[in-house]
């Protein structure tokens, strides 16, 4: 591990890169010739934070566990928005949905960031391309052709094409190893988004009867608006996915323990298949001599409810929906086996990669660079992390907002109900403490109010009845 100052100097000047790397003799063309690190981001779809082996021994992800153990695990990673298109637009722009305009699934609002648009130069890929990177994208975009927002090559794949996506990504690495340019490779599989179609060999890894149910699993959601997932609603998603593609079972609410376990089995099996593909991709990285100088970042676009709070799908501000597995691996410079409890956002990918590329980070970027954590995982980069899922129910201002501090989480719900959870004592979010006296509520209310004003939230100023206490 190297110090932050040294890391910055190393990345920005590049001159010392080889002298610090003990395994450089084994490095291939690309890494040996370039000074800037390569970037490989694997961005999965709907993978909740408990759906990875190092957070949950029931799920089998040996490759991801090994890769995570070779770098920095980020325990508290939250997405800017727990829904596909909004989350993807956020990670590519470094902004929250109400800033870039892609609310919920309104991908048309991304047009200013596409080629020829007024904000096209602001995307992550365009900024990295300007810094000398060869940018390639394989997998699910959800916000248009990736070649329209800064990637010089790549394709947007449909569902069930992940095997092809990984093949193309491996072929890219073979070409990249022969190039003198650093690369930025974005791999976005569809797995484990529904409809689930796991092959039998992955299903065979799990006995649904042995799967444990989380403490907050219910047969049906209660009526609290914090659980509103809008239209068409999670029952549609889950019923259709499950009924069509695996077993003729209705898994929508009301559920029972068996249907939840059966769905979880299919979901875990899908993640295990994904894990195998990621393991092969990083194996190719190693085989091409690109391993040491490639920053590998793993995360998902949002989480997923597996019967938690009586829900499937995502869209809520519950942990299952908004918190994702995330780690950073960079063998040349990041120590193995380190973990951080710092509050991290998916928005942090944007400034982190720009900083490591030696490019300027724009003042309006909403994320924080993760670089300090790479050398000191005990450091903090923010006091509160935010998320939003607006557009729930089809109205632009409706939806959920979250301000999550170190131990406490505050949610302003769809219909202006307030929720306060003490994560240190109640990680499954079973007890709402918003009506109890204490310093945490006004503090997080104020944080959220400041954030709402900054992003131009349509609910700002606070709705009547929910005014932050002084």
Length of the chain: 470
Query: What sign has the CA pseudo-torsion 371, 372, 376, 380?
Result: negative
The nearest distance, CB 107 to Ca ion, in angstroms, is 13
- Report the candidate in 333, 361, 337, 295 with the shortest Cα–Cα distance to residue 3: 333
Q: Compare residues 305 and 459 and give the one whose CB is closer to Ca ion.
A: 305
Interacting span for Ca ion (CB under 5 A) from 82-90, 172-180, 217-225, 401-409: 82-90
The alpha carbon of 403 is separated from its chain's Cα centroid by a whole number of angstroms, namely 17
The nearest distance, CB 418 to Ca ion, in angstroms, is 27
The nearest distance, CB 366 to Ca ion, in angstroms, is 20
Interacting span for Ca ion (CB under 5 A) from 14-22, 45-53, 102-110, 457-465: 45-53
Q: Compare residues 34 and 302 and give the one whose CB is closer to Ca ion.
A: 302
The nearest distance, CB 435 to Ca ion, in angstroms, is 33
Scanning residues 291 to 310, which ones bind Ca ion (CB under 5 A)? 301-302
Residue 217 forms beta bridges with which residues? Answer: 308
The count of C-alpha atoms lying within 13 angstroms of the C-alpha of 62, restricted to the half-sphere facing its C-beta, is 3
The nearest distance, CB 312 to Ca ion, in angstroms, is 13
Using DSSP's 3-state secondary structure scheme, residue 210 falls into: helix
Q: Compare residues 46 and 276 and give the one whose CB is closer to Ca ion.
A: 46
Structure tokens at 139: 């997998």
Total residues contacting Ca ion (rule CB under 5 A)? 5
Q: Compare residues 8 and 50 and give the one whose CB is closer to Ca ion.
A: 50
Q: Compare residues 36 and 100 and give the one whose CB is closer to Ca ion.
A: 100
Site string for Ca ion, 162-201 (x = CB under 5 A): ----------------------------------------
Structure tokens at 204: 């065979």
Backbone angles phi, psi at 149, to 5 degrees: -125, 35
Q: Compare residues 188 and 290 and give the one whose CB is closer to Ca ion.
A: 188
Q: Compare residues 44 and 294 and give the one whose CB is closer to Ca ion.
A: 44
Tell me 260's DSSP state: H
Contact indicator for 85, 104 with CB cutoff of 8 Å: yes
The DSSP line for 268-323 is HHHHHHHHHHHHHHHHHHHHTT-STTEEEEEEES----SSBTT--S--SSSHHHHE
Single residue of 7, 8, 32, 45 touching Ca ion by CB under 5 A: 45
The nearest distance, CB 167 to Ca ion, in angstroms, is 22
CA–CA gap between residue 243 and residue 220 (Å, rounded): 18
Q: Compare residues 40 and 79 and give the one whose CB is closer to Ca ion.
A: 79
The nearest distance, CB 316 to Ca ion, in angstroms, is 13
Using DSSP's 3-state secondary structure scheme, residue 69 falls into: helix
Contact indicator for 421, 431 with CB cutoff of 8 Å: yes
CB proximity list for 420: less than 8 A, separation 6 or greater: 408, 409, 410, 411, 432, 433, 434, 436, 440, 441, 444
Interacting span for Ca ion (CB under 5 A) from 5-13, 77-85, 182-190, 212-220: 77-85
Residue 40 forms beta bridges with which residues? Answer: 185, 296
Structure tokens at 296: 């590998």
Q: Compare residues 302 and 346 and give the one whose CB is closer to Ca ion.
A: 302
The nearest distance, CB 160 to Ca ion, in angstroms, is 16
Residue 97: CB atoms within 10 Å? 27
The nearest distance, CB 12 to Ca ion, in angstroms, is 34
CA–CA gap between residue 321 and residue 327 (Å, rounded): 18
The count of C-alpha atoms lying within 13 angstroms of the C-alpha of 156, restricted to the half-sphere facing its C-beta, is 11
Q: Is 46 in the site for Ca ion (CB under 5 A)?
A: yes
Q: Is 457 in the site for Ca ion (CB under 5 A)?
A: no
Single residue of 84, 266, 354, 392 touching Ca ion by CB under 5 A: 84
The nearest distance, CB 275 to Ca ion, in angstroms, is 18
Interacting span for Ca ion (CB under 5 A) from 81-89, 166-174, 250-258, 402-410: 81-89
Residue closest to Ca ion, measured at CB: 84
Q: Compare residues 110 and 330 and give the one whose CB is closer to Ca ion.
A: 110
Q: Compare residues 157 and 302 and give the one whose CB is closer to Ca ion.
A: 302
Scanning residues 393 to 432, which ones bind Ca ion (CB under 5 A)? none
The nearest distance, CB 299 to Ca ion, in angstroms, is 11
- Contacting positions for Ca ion (CB under 5 A): 45-46, 84, 301-302
């Amino acid at each position: 591990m190297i110090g932050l100052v040294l890391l910055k100097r190393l990345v920005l000047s590049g001159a010392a890169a080889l002298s610090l790397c003990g395994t450089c003799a084994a490095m291939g063309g690309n890494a040996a010739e370039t000074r800037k690190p390569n970037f490989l981001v694997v961005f999965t779809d709907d993978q909740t934070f408990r759906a990875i082996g190092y957070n949950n021994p029931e799920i089998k992800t040996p490759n991801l566990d090994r890769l995570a153990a070779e770098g920095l695990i980020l325990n508290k990673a939250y997405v800017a928005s727990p829904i596909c298109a909004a989350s993807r637009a956020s990670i590519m722009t470094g902004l929250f949905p109400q800033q870039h305009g892609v609310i919920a699934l309104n991908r048309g609002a991304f047009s200013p960031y596409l080629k020829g648009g007024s904000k096209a130069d602001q995307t992550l890929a365009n900024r990295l391309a300007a810094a000398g990177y060869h940018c390639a994208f394989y997998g699910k975009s959800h916000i248009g052709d990736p070649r329209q927002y800064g990637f010089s090559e790549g394709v947007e794949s449909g569902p069930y094409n992940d095997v092809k996506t990984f093949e193309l990504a491996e072929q890219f690495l073979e070409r990249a190893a022969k190039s003198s340019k650093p690369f930025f490779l974005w791999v976005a599989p569809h797995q484990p988004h529904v409809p689930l179609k796991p092959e039998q060999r992955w299903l065979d890894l799990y006995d649904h009867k042995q799967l444990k149910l989380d403490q907050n699993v219910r047969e049906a959601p209660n009526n609290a608006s914090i659980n509103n997932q809008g239209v068409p609603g999670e029952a549609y998603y889950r019923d259709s996915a499950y009924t069509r593609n695996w077993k003729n079972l209705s898994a929508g609410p009301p559920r029972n323990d068996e249907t939840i376990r059966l769905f979880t089995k299919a979901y875990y099996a899908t993640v295990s298949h994904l894990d195998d593909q990621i393991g092969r991709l990083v194996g190719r990285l190693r085989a091409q001599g690109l391993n040491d100088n490639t920053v590998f970042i793993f995360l998902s676009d949002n989480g997923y409810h597996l019967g938690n709070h009586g829900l499937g799908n995502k869209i809520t501000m519950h942990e299952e929906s908004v918190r994702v597995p995330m780690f950073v691996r960079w063998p040349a410079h990041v120590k193995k086996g380190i973990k951080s409890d710092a509050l991290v956002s998916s928005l942090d990918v944007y400034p982190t990669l720009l900083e490591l590329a030696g490019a300027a980070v724009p003042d309006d970027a909403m994320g924080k660079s993760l670089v300090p954590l790479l050398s000191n995982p005990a450091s903090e980069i923010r006091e509160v992390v935010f998320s939003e899922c607006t557009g729930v129910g089809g109205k632009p201002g409706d939806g959920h907002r979250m301000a999550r501090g170190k131990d406490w989480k505050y949610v302003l719900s769809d219909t202006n109900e307030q929720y306060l959870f003490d994560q240190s004592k109640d990680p499954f979010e079973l007890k709402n403490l918003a009506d109890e006296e204490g310093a945490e509520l006004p503090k997080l209310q104020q944080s959220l109010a400041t954030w709402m004003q900054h992003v131009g939230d349509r609910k700002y100023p606070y709705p009547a009845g929910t005014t932050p206490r002084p």
